[in-house]
Amino acid sequence: MIKRYFNASIIYASLALACGVFYREFTKYAGFTGKTNLAFLHTHYFVLGMFFFLALALFEWVFSFSGQKGVSGWTTVYHVGLNITTACLFLRGLAQATETTLSTGLNGALSGVSGIGHILLGTSLLALLVLIRRSALVQKQ
Q: What is the pLDDT of residues 29-78, one digit of tens each?
A: 989 888 999 999 999 999 999 999 999 999 999 888 888 888 999 999 99
pLDDT in tens, 86-110: 999 999 999 999 999 999 999 999 9
Asked if residues 12 and 53 have their Cβ atoms less than 8 Å apart, the reply is: yes
Q: How many CA atoms lie within 13 A of 13 on its CB side?
A: 11
pTM: 0.91
**In this structure, are residues 12 and 50 in contact, taking their beta carbons and an 8 Å threshold?**
yes
Q: What is the DSSP letter of 141?
A: -
Q: Does the pLDDT of residue 136 top 80, yes or no?
A: yes
pLDDT at position 34: 87
